[in-house]
Structure 1
Amino acid sequence: MSKVPPDILAEIKAAAKEEWPDDRDMQEHYVESETEGYLAIAETDFGVAIAVKDEILEWADDYSSLWEERASFVADEVAAYAELQEQPEGVPAEILADLKRKAAAEHDWYSSQRDEVQGGIAHFLYVRDTRAKIGPIRDLLVRMEGIIGDECYNDNIQNYGSWGVWEGEGRSFRYPVTVLRNGESEKRRSRFDDLQAEELVTGHYKFGANELSIYRALVKVIDMLEAEYGLKLPR
Structure 2
Amino acid sequence: MKNVPKIVLDKIVKQTKEENSFLVNCGYTQEEADEEIQALIDEEINAYNQLQTLQCDSVPDKIIEEYKNLADNVGNSYTEQLEEVTQRLSVYERNQKIDKLKQLFILLESTIGGQCYNGHIQNYGSWGQWLDEGREFKYPFYYYKNNEKQPKTHYLNNSMNANELYSAYYPFGANQLHISKAILKTIELIEKRYGLNFCELEEKITN
* TM more than 0.5: yes
One-letter amino acid matched to 1:122: S
- Whether 1:67 aligns to 2:34 is yes
Equivalent in the alignment of 2:86: 118
Pick closer, same or farther for the CA change 1:130–1:206 going to 2, 3 Å.
Answer: same
One-letter amino acid matched to 2:90: A
Taking the aligned partners of 2:172 and 2:97, their CA distance within structure 1 comes to 29
Equivalent in the alignment of 1:127: 95
**Aligned with residue 152 of structure 1, among 101, 111, 116:** 116
One-letter amino acid matched to 1:211: L
- Whether 1:100 aligns to 2:64 is no
Equivalent in the alignment of 1:188: 153
- Whether 1:81 aligns to 2:48 is yes
Residues 7-27 of structure 1 show CA distances to partners (whole Å, capped at 9, x for unaligned) of xxxxxxxxxxxxxxxxxxxxx
Aligned-residue offset at 1:75: 0.7
Taking the aligned partners of 1:55 and 1:226, their CA distance within structure 2 comes to 46
Matches of residues 42-57 of structure 1 in structure 2 within 5 Å? 45-57=1-13
Structure 2 portions without partners, runs of 5+:
22-32
Taking the aligned partners of 1:53 and 1:148, their CA distance within structure 2 comes to 54
CA contact (8 A) 1:158 1:166 kept: no
The structure showing larger relative contact order (alpha-carbon pairs under 8 Å, at least 6 residues apart) is: 2
TM-score of the superposed pair, with normalisation by structure 2: 0.65
One-letter amino acid matched to 2:20: S
Taking the aligned partners of 2:82 and 2:185, their CA distance within structure 1 comes to 34
One-letter amino acid matched to 1:131: D
Taking the aligned partners of 2:107 and 2:94, their CA distance within structure 1 comes to 24
SS at 2:118 equivalent:
strand
One-letter amino acid matched to 1:196: N
CA contact (8 A) 2:141 2:154 kept: yes
Pick closer, same or farther for the CA change 1:194–1:155 going to 2, 3 Å.
Answer: same
Larger radius of gyration: 1
Aligned-residue offset at 1:216: 4.2
**Aligned with residue 177 of structure 2, among 207, 211, 223:** 211
Pick closer, same or farther for the CA change 1:217–1:160 going to 2, 3 Å.
Answer: farther
Count the aligned residue pairs.
182
CA contact (8 A) 2:156 2:165 kept: no
CA contact (8 A) 1:141 1:219 kept: no
- Whether 1:142 aligns to 2:106 is yes
One-letter amino acid matched to 1:146: S
Aligned-residue offset at 1:196: 2.7
CA contact (8 A) 2:144 2:168 kept: yes
Residues 30-73 of structure 1 show CA distances to partners (whole Å, capped at 9, x for unaligned) of xxxxxxxxxxxxxxx24134332222222222121431122111
Identity of aligned residues (%): 28
CA contact (8 A) 1:49 1:82 kept: no
SS at 1:47 equivalent:
coil
Equivalent in the alignment of 2:24: none
Pick closer, same or farther for the CA change 1:98–1:166 going to 2, 3 Å.
Answer: same
Structure 1 portions without partners, runs of 5+:
1-44
Pick closer, same or farther for the CA change 1:109–1:196 going to 2, 3 Å.
Answer: same
